[in-house]
Amino acid sequence: MELLFLGTGAGVPAKERNVSSVALQLLGERGATWLFDCGEATQHQILHTAIRPRRIEHIFITHLHGDHLFGLPGLLGSRSFQSGETPLTVFGPKGIRAFVETALSVSGTRLRYELNIAEIEEGVIFDDERFQVIAKRLDHGMPSYGFRVVEKDLPGPLLVDRLQALGVRPGPIYQQIKQGKTVMLDDGTVIDGREFVGPPQKGRIVAVLGDTRFCEAAIELARDADVVVHEATFAAAEQRLAHDYFHSTTTDAAEVARRAGAKRLILTHISSRYQGEAALQLVAEARKVFPNTDLAADFASFSIPRG
């Protein structure tokens, strides 16, 4: 599991930062990539990475401001020409369906794969045997959502050494034991499979938040998360400006992570007014409130280990 930032700027593209998009790489977990937001030129940014558009399984749009979705029609169209044949689902606020369908229709774009569009509200928006995604509405000038990606706990490892010490050879019986079943060995010995399985491996939690002022919903989404991705459009000294434009400062983001008991914070959606040393000061401000803070840059990647 890895986060790869494709665009980390706010509002308009800049030389150092393209507009918003971040990929959650789940290649080991499900052989897929999930994309969060798709600002203008996201597909161009992808060309500089190892991401394969055909592996993009879900795209989550936080809100309908252009710097978060103007790149979506182009990416959807290009995927057809890049061996993309598997289904893809776009999740987003009400209006995302009209935007995508109109763009594809007017441009005469025909997709070679099944495209599903889900207009979301608060609650569980995706759930399968491996992952759950929860959406909550944040505090922005238009409906804007944050997403909590929860990896479900994995079964504990089979304690092979203990089984071999009892003379239990590998085979179908190992699968039964790993499932916690009671089994009988060839010599008539009965063993409880639960005694030969280690403790469950706790799943990881990633919170990716759209544009927002400081709010309780952000804290709830970030609760005990391994990583929180939070906008930090403005420096701490610009609190009034941030509030007026429905955005967050560095210290707002850090306070969300602190109150949520998160393990790590990554700042993104940085205004173009902060270049070079000024950008470094942003992360320094946040670290005064939440020490384990990093500043995202375009093409920066962050692995998310277990435990």
67 annotated ligand binder: yes
Q: Where are the alpha helices (DSSP H) in the chain?
A: 27-30, 42-46, 66-69, 72-80, 96-106, 160-165, 172-178, 216-222, 239-244, 250-260, 277-289
Cα–Cα distance measured from residue 15 to residue 274, given in angstroms and rounded to the nearest whole number = 12
226 is in an annotated binding site: no
63 is in an annotated binding site: yes
Annotated binding-site residue? 44: no
- In angstroms, the CA 169 to CA 166 distance is 9
269 labelled ligand-binding: yes
Hey, what are 102's tokens? Answer: 């109109």
186 annotated ligand binder? no
255 CB neighbour count, 10 Å cutoff: 19
Q: Which residues are catalytic?
A: 67
CA angle 300, 204, 1 (to 5 degrees): 40
- Residues forming the annotated binding site? 63, 65, 67-68, 140, 211, 269
Known binding residues for Zn(2+) are 63, 65, 67-68, 140, 211, 269
